[in-house]
Amino acid sequence: MRRTRTHFSKELGLRDSVLLGVGFIIGSGIFLFPILMASMAGTYSLLSWVIGGIYTILTGLCFAENAARIPRAGGLYSYAHQELGDTIGFLAGWSFWIGYWLTISTETKALSLYSSFFLPVTYFNELSRLLIATAIVIILTIINYRGVRGGGQTQDIFTIG
């Protein structure tokens, strides 16, 4: 199979890239889980946040190192494929892709729960939150489909906001 060289235009700047990384790493879990963790683990929940933070920093550094060492499209698949072969590359790529889908559903569910603050009628109505979550996915899909720049600006707003 012949490999073709892919050219990507630079649409996101440093600020967009940093906010994208921060938004993806932190996500909405920082707003949803502290109370749950504190009720289950007590004072040890703070220790678990510190351990999780260290793990996240180390993972981010591994990705940064691989991105600098293997500068081509494909992300985790490219890194695993080059170092560990076809099978592991395939499994890593699919695992990461499935993880993204799970993240999207979790973040969308969290955003629909946040909406109940502005629309109190949706707090006890699961169907209305499901419709809000579906609308969020559709709107964000359209924004991202129209271009990376719009998706980056949307991510900036959600990360800062």
For the residues of 44-83, what is the DSSP string, one character each?
A: HHHHHHHHHHHHHHHHHHHHHHHHHHS-STTTHHHHHHHH
Rounded Cα distance, 81 and 78, in Å: 5
Confidence at residue 58, expressed as pLDDT on a 0 to 100 scale: 92
Confidence at residue 6, expressed as pLDDT on a 0 to 100 scale: 65
Contact by Cβ (8 Å): 140, 107:
no
Q: Flag whether pLDDT at 1 surpasses 60.
A: no
Question: How does pLDDT run across 3-45, given as a tens digit for each residue?
Answer: 666 666 777 888 888 887 777 777 666 666 777 777 887 888 8
Mean pLDDT score, 154-161:
81
Q: Flag whether pLDDT at 2 surpasses 80.
A: no
Question: How does pLDDT run across 38-86, given as a tens digit for each residue?
Answer: 788 788 888 888 898 899 889 889 888 888 888 888 888 888 888 888 8
**Cβ of 79: how many Cβ atoms within 10 Å?**
21
Rounded Cα distance, 76 and 139, in Å: 27
Question: How does pLDDT run across 101-119, given as a tens digit for each residue?
Answer: 888 888 888 777 777 778 7
